[in-house]
Structure 1
Amino acid sequence: MIEDYKVRKIAVANLIILVTLLVSITTPAILFIGHADTTTSNGQSIAGYVKYTLLLYDNVLIDGNYNGTYLGIGPSGIAYDPNNGYFYVADSASCNVSVIDPVNNSVLDTIRVGFGPYGVVYEPYVKYIYVTDYESCTVTVINPYLRNELVCTINVGPGPYGIAYIPPGTPLGGYYGSLIITHYGSVVQGTTTITWIFNIGLSPAAGTSGTTDLGIIPCSLGIFYDPSNNLIYVTDFGNNTLTVIGSSFSSGLYVKAIIGVGSGPYAIAQDPTDGYLYVTNSRSNTVSVIDPINNSVIDSIKVGLDPHGVAYDPSNGYIYVADYGSNALSVIEPMNNSVIATIQVGSNPCQIAYDPNNGYLYVTDRGSGSISVISTVVPSVAYQITFTESGLPPGTLWSVTLNGITETSKTNTITFNEPNGVYEYTVTPFQDYTVSPSSGKITVSNSNVIQQIVFTQVSTGQTSTSTSTQSTPSSTSTLPITRTSTSQTSTSSSQPAVIPNITTITGVSITYILLGAMMIIILLLVVIMILVLRRH
């Protein structure tokens, strides 16, 4: 009796272990497949992908992503010049600034600056580029219109890091605009300073350079100026706070508020639609969302490892975060402050800048010495428009023109792939045949469409007629494509070699299949367990 009980107990225990292992293995796979709404069918994220990578070391452009070895260049800060359309990249390890032409994504020039360049900003009044030289304790001024020649070097004190431009007509900007520079780890008698170069637009050398002792920012990194409220926001890496700085004509700069954020705050970006600020916290791997109206944290978003730079993309409204330790970008949807996608980029992504001309994001990859060019354009979703003929002899060549594109076939079907829209079509007539309908319009609205075409042979002495058949939607699969032409004629398909697979199983279908399979296996195991118990 005791031995029989032990056998039953062992059998039951083994079956329970098998069921547990099965559930633990299949459940993550099901959840992963079911959560397939952030990528298109070609594997690209809906929020973007690496279209090109520019290797700064030898000025080579490659397709797709590259995560290579460290080449001693260390691209860090980046700024866009709207006048010439170029990017200026601070190469912190090589003491240079690389000038990037986004038209062909190549290095146009390399400018020698001070030691440890990091922060870069464009000043629109005189149209100069300003670069903070961390190790040289200076700011280098570049004139893009004189072959990127150096204008001058301004001594600003130890550890200049972040830099922001303040436009004229404000207490901060004065008559000719100003620069605000943060100092990382620059402690003078227990306090630190922020450098305020007043009236910089008059002349860099003639601008009034001075320091403002705020005494509470021992490790200031990121800096952001909000023109809507005329306030400056500075991240205090050491105290885990965001300092809000105001200004007045009488007293100059003053601390307006101090906001507690995550650990190791680094950079700042703003969503202009609601004014919220997004602060990356490099040590806690989070992004703090700040409401500037009441200076409070309204949300905290978990992202990748060691987030550094952050940028807003006006083309899709997303926030992009450079996860320095994950070699990736976290993409945040501001509507619900959630990460909707992750884009793998080069090694140690540092800062991000947006090009309004081509809509790409440019990411400095400090570890791989490269620039990742991110395309955020989501491919259009195309649907099948199928024309099916009846009435012609088998093997007869017939043709249909849709939206200016002509396709021919010797079978009874002709297929086009088009996104949502309304498209005009015509059917090429045949001698001794009437065709119905001979022309018309096709409306594509989130589904495939089938249009019946009826050819009727004309008998001697009489004319046959037929009833027009309306186009009907079809509920088959969709296909992401990128259209490159809308008006050309050919005898073969003009689409970019993409044919929808009607039998393709979607992520949701696979989820249900796996769930069903798992339930069947569990049921079989239970039946086996009952049989074993009865046997013993």
Structure 2
Amino acid sequence: MKHHIRRRALAGVIALTSATVLIGCSSSEGPSASEDAAAIKDGAPPVGSPVEGTIWVANEEGGSLSAIDVATSRVVATVDGVDSPHNVQASPDGATVWAVSGHRNAVVALDAATLELVGTQATGAGPAHVVVSADGQRAYVTNAGDGTLTAYQTSDLASLGSVRLSNGPHGLRATADGTTLVVANTAAGGVDVVDAATLSVRASIPVGSSPVQVAVDGDGEFAYVSLAGENAVAKVDLDGLKVVATVAVPSAPVQLYLSEDGTTLLSADQGTETAPGRTLSVIDPSEMTVVASIETGAGPHGVVMDPTGAMAWVTNMYDDTVSVVDLRTKEIVATVPVGDKPNGISFSALSIPAASPTLAEVAVPDYAEADAGAEEGHEGSHDHG
């Protein structure tokens, strides 16, 4: 697949201090610029930060992916040409970056070092999220438009089959051993528990109103589910197949992230475009209580944590920014401008080996258009006998 790479200077970082400047908002329905106060710093990471790597961001309305250098909190690369990327996921080794193209019904794999297109493949209708198995051998995509989950072989993006799920599959996560996938079905009000090897549904569990994303503990015993319709997060017993606890959060939650040691659960409380939330809730998953609330930008949507649990990053959907959070102090230490309507976000331990910021453009086939053409042709053949 052809691609073109060129270089450009990119925006620096905006970070918080006691002085204030204005940050623009991407939507006229969102809060005014005067409500977004921050001060300019030099983009340096917090003192004592143990983290290096890259944060990948899916800018859904910008049709791009942004790569933020963890050490400097600066955008160091942008990939254009991925139409309507709702979600992005770095592979476990960080070498490949995966994304979905919602408008083109495509899953996309990029080389994280060169930003070259490794390959694409057709998905079902309306792909929502993509995850990669812990061994890096498989990728899984939820297709919200046709209620399915599709598995792919990561080596060549060959489809390994699909399974029909409950209505409106969206976010998903795998258990640590890779044997099970837990999928949030937004329209169905439940989660499906899927056997990853056979692509069969083991159980469907009612959880509440508008579940969006899940997090799964290391033992595969419990899943945590964001309930956007209830402004709450639920804890689900995967053996007992039932909700065992819930905790309220300030606004409609979207993405969740559980620390590797299982002691901290983060909830990005997005709210709505007309009433955006501004909170990252820090939850004790054992007690299901909110232990801290960290103010973010407008509409926190995606959230990810580094493996040490020291740092987190949050996409602010209505600010077009990413908040950098020091979880040790529970403070926002930097705010990074990215593309239009940032949604999904992923951490990679690998830094991009580039001497200067890079802009890449990739060409993704429109599988949605091809599917529509095939359906028209199929209907036409019936019309003619």
The TM-score with structure 1 as length reference comes to: 0.51
1:125-204 residue pairs with structure 2 within 5 A? 127-146=95-114, 148-168=115-135, 177-184=137-144, 186-187=145-146, 192-197=147-152, 199-200=153-154, 202-204=155-157
1:24-103 residue pairs with structure 2 within 5 A? 58-63=11-16, 68-71=23-26, 85-103=53-71
Q: Which stretches in structure 2 are left out of the alignment for 5+ residues?
A: 1-8, 28-50, 272-276, 331-385
How many residues are treated as equivalent by the alignment? 292
Q: 2:263 aligns with which of 317, 321, 324?
A: 317
Secondary structure of the 1:232 match is strand
- The answer as to whether partners of 2:60 and 2:83 remain within 8 angstroms in 1 is yes
Q: Determine the C-alpha separation between the residues in 2 that align with 1:353 and 1:229.
A: 19
Alpha carbons of structure 1 residues 125 and 271: separation in structure 2 relative to 1, 3 Å: closer
Alpha carbons of structure 1 residues 267 and 247: separation in structure 2 relative to 1, 3 Å: closer
Paired position in structure 2 for 1:232: 181
* Counterpart residue type for residue 203 of structure 1: D
- The answer as to whether partners of 1:161 and 1:183 remain within 8 angstroms in 2 is yes
- The answer as to whether partners of 1:351 and 1:363 remain within 8 angstroms in 2 is yes
Shift of 1:378: 3.9
* Counterpart residue type for residue 302 of structure 1: A
Paired position in structure 1 for 2:207: 261
Paired position in structure 1 for 2:369: none
1:344-359 residue pairs with structure 2 within 5 A? 344-356=295-307, 359=310
- The answer as to whether partners of 1:163 and 1:180 remain within 8 angstroms in 2 is yes
Q: 2:314 aligns with which of 350, 356, 363?
A: 363
- The answer as to whether partners of 1:196 and 1:211 remain within 8 angstroms in 2 is yes
Give a deviation string over 1:149-187, Cα, whole Å, max 9, x none.
22222221321111111245xxxxxxx711110012x13
Alpha carbons of structure 1 residues 341 and 67: separation in structure 2 relative to 1, 3 Å: farther
- The answer as to whether partners of 1:68 and 1:346 remain within 8 angstroms in 2 is no
- The answer as to whether partners of 2:161 and 2:199 remain within 8 angstroms in 1 is no
Q: Determine the C-alpha separation between the residues in 2 that align with 1:358 and 1:293.
A: 27
2:256 is the alignment partner of 1:296? no
- The answer as to whether partners of 1:183 and 1:220 remain within 8 angstroms in 2 is yes
- Percent identical among aligned pairs is 22
Alpha carbons of structure 1 residues 126 and 301: separation in structure 2 relative to 1, 3 Å: closer
Q: Determine the C-alpha separation between the residues in 1 that align with 2:178 and 2:108.
A: 29
Q: Determine the C-alpha separation between the residues in 2 that align with 1:57 and 1:236.
A: 38
Alpha carbons of structure 1 residues 211 and 304: separation in structure 2 relative to 1, 3 Å: farther
* Counterpart residue type for residue 106 of structure 2: T
Shift of 1:255: 0.9
Secondary structure of the 2:14 match is strand
Q: Determine the C-alpha separation between the residues in 1 that align with 2:219 and 2:195.
A: 22
Shift of 1:308: 0.4
Alpha carbons of structure 1 residues 67 and 138: separation in structure 2 relative to 1, 3 Å: farther
- The answer as to whether partners of 1:317 and 1:333 remain within 8 angstroms in 2 is yes
Alpha carbons of structure 1 residues 337 and 274: separation in structure 2 relative to 1, 3 Å: farther
Q: Determine the C-alpha separation between the residues in 1 that align with 2:138 and 2:257.
A: 23
Shift of 1:246: 1.1
Shift of 1:320: 1.2
The TM-score with structure 2 as length reference comes to: 0.70
Alpha carbons of structure 1 residues 71 and 162: separation in structure 2 relative to 1, 3 Å: same
Structure with more contact order per residue of length (Cα contacts < 8 Å, sep ≥ 6): 2
Alpha carbons of structure 1 residues 292 and 280: separation in structure 2 relative to 1, 3 Å: same
- The answer as to whether partners of 2:191 and 2:206 remain within 8 angstroms in 1 is yes
Paired position in structure 1 for 2:340: none
Q: Determine the C-alpha separation between the residues in 1 that align with 2:287 and 2:308.
A: 28
* Counterpart residue type for residue 182 of structure 1: T
Q: Determine the C-alpha separation between the residues in 1 that align with 2:175 and 2:189.
A: 21
1:448-459 residue pairs with structure 2 within 5 A? none
Shift of 1:66: 8.6
* Counterpart residue type for residue 204 of structure 2: I
Alpha carbons of structure 1 residues 125 and 369: separation in structure 2 relative to 1, 3 Å: closer
Paired position in structure 2 for 1:389: none
Secondary structure of the 1:283 match is coil
- The answer as to whether partners of 1:113 and 1:140 remain within 8 angstroms in 2 is no
Q: 2:327 aligns with which of 365, 376, 394?
A: 376
Secondary structure of the 1:262 match is coil
Q: Determine the C-alpha separation between the residues in 1 that align with 2:184 and 2:280.
A: 21
Aligned-pair Cα RMSD in Å? 2.7
